[in-house]
């Protein structure tokens, strides 16, 4: 997550979820919850996250050899799962960074001849803040929660769609670089897509989902009131999957991650989903943000619970997710 200008240990929360139900005529027109016959494998979640947050990658700072190793790893993942590059290669070169840096972008065409012209973007940033300077001890900011956890979830979703070919809309799977430098990867990519008349339906950006919250909902969404995405996700899962986190609104997290450049250009539902609630993880931008502290069963459950919602977003004939303001 892009740097937050406050001191985490002193943040106090008193948060209650908003009810996010669909009622009246609107409810009747919305697709009902579905179950999918697919199991997200906990060991695969663990193995993927473990490497991406390992010391070998030296904190994945944009422009370094560490993030280059991460880029190769993600390219190999797309190749292994037969996910095509959207551009001529998987590497989308940033136009706004001083040295070579790349988003990694994969693409699955939709199966419906009409809906395939619309795109769903599933994204997370794979960069982090690299090595501490002039310090002793652990110098590597491994970024397991921020945001190797989000990349892992997007990768598991990509694996599902690659195996099932169940998406009727086309899907862009994007791993952004440069997020920690000021959302540079998303700012660069969105301008290229705009020139291609990219037909965006919605973007789900996954940000810091490595540990669970002690709340009556699984995750929160940024910019809760800007669209009906929270309502629709809960409708699609049949669970209290998404809730409202007051601190998210207070700190305006909607503007602090890679969803915002997409919203800014396309004015479509583009939001980030997270389980970092400012009291469940004390090692934000810290060398102790390591694999060992990640809750693998939680990440697996998160992915499993979200998959039916993403399937619905990728297959509903109507554009049920809409902006509210």
Separation in Å, CA 161 to CA 37, 123, 154, 298: 13, 14, 11, 21
Task: Look at residue 21 and tell me whether its pLDDT is greater than 90.
Answer: no
On whether the pTM is more than 0.95, the answer is: no
Digit-coded pLDDT (tens) for 32-61: 788 899 999 999 999 999 999 999 999 999
**What average pLDDT does range 221-238 have in this prediction?**
97
What is the overall mean pLDDT for the chain? Answer: 92
**7: exposed, middle or buried (Cβ count in 10 Å: 0-12, 13-18, 19+):** exposed
Task: Look at residue 276 and tell me whether its pLDDT is greater than 80.
Answer: yes
Q: Assign 286 a pLDDT band (cuts: 50, 70, 90).
A: very high
Q: Domain 8-313 is in which class?
A: alpha beta
Distance between CA 186 and CA 263 in Å, rounded? 11
Q: Which two tokens stand for residue 50?
A: 């473990």
The candidate with the shortest Cα–Cα distance to 319, out of 223, 198, 201, is 201
For residue 153, what pLDDT is reported? 98
For residue 5, what pLDDT is reported? 44
Distance between CA 215 and CA 212 in Å, rounded? 9
**What average pLDDT does range 56-68 have in this prediction?**
98
For residue 137, what pLDDT is reported? 78
Going from N- to C-terminal start, the domains of the chain cover 8-313
For residue 33, what pLDDT is reported? 85
Least confident of 3-12, 163-172, 313-322: 3-12
Question: Residue 153 belongs to what H/E stretch?
Answer: helix 149-164
Separation in Å, CA 199 to CA 32, 128, 194: 25, 30, 9
Name beta bridge partners: 61.
Answer: 128
Q: Assign 28 a pLDDT band (cuts: 50, 70, 90).
A: very low
Distance between CA 157 and CA 135 in Å, rounded? 38
For residue 14, what pLDDT is reported? 35
Digit-coded pLDDT (tens) for 154-209: 999 999 999 999 999 999 999 999 999 999 999 999 999 999 999 999 999 999 99
Task: Look at residue 10 and tell me whether its pLDDT is greater than 50.
Answer: no
Q: Which two tokens stand for residue 320?
A: 């049920």
Separation in Å, CA 24 to CA 27, 28, 29, 30: 6, 7, 9, 11
């Amino acid at each position: 997550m892009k740097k937050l200008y406050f001191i985490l240990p002193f943040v106090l929360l008193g948060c209650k979820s908003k009810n996010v139900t669909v009622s009246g005529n609107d409810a009747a027109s919305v697709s009902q919850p579905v179950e999918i016959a697919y199991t997200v494998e906990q060991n695969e979640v663990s193995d993927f996250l473990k490497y991406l947050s390992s010391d070998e990658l030296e904190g994945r700072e944009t422009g370094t050899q560490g993030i280059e190793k991460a880029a190769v790893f993600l390219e190999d993942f797309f190749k292994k799962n037969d996910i095509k590059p959207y551009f001529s290669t998987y590497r989308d070169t940033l136009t706004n960074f001083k040295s070579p840096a790349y988003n990694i972008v994969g693409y699955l065409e939709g199966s419906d001849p009409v809906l395939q012209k619309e795109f769903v973007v599933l994204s997370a940033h794979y960069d982090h803040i690299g090595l501490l300077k002039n310090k002793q001890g652990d110098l590597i900011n491994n970024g397991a929660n921020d945001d190797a956890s989000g990349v892992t979830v997007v990768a598991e979703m990509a694996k599902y769609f690659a195996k099932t070919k169940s998406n009727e809309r086309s899907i862009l799977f994007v791993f952004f670089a440069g997020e920690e430098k000021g959302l540079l990867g998303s700012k660069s990519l969105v301008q290229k897509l705009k020139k291609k008349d990219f037909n965006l339906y919605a973007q789900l950006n996954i940000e810091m989902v490595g540990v669970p919250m002690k709340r009556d909902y699984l995750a929160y969404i940024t910019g809760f009131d800007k669209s009906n995405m929270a309502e629709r996700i809960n409708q699609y899962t049949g669970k209290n999957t998404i809730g409202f986190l007051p601190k998210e609104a207070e700190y305006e997290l909607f503007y602090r991650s890679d969803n915002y450049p997409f919203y800014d250009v396309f004015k479509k539902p583009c939001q980030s989903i997270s389980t970092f609630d400012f009291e469940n993880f004390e090692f934000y931008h810290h060398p102790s943000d390591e694999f060992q502290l990640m809750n693998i069963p939680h990440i697996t459950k998160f992915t499993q619970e979200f998959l039916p919602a993403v399937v619905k977003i990728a297959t509903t004939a109507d554009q049920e997710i809409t902006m509210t303001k």
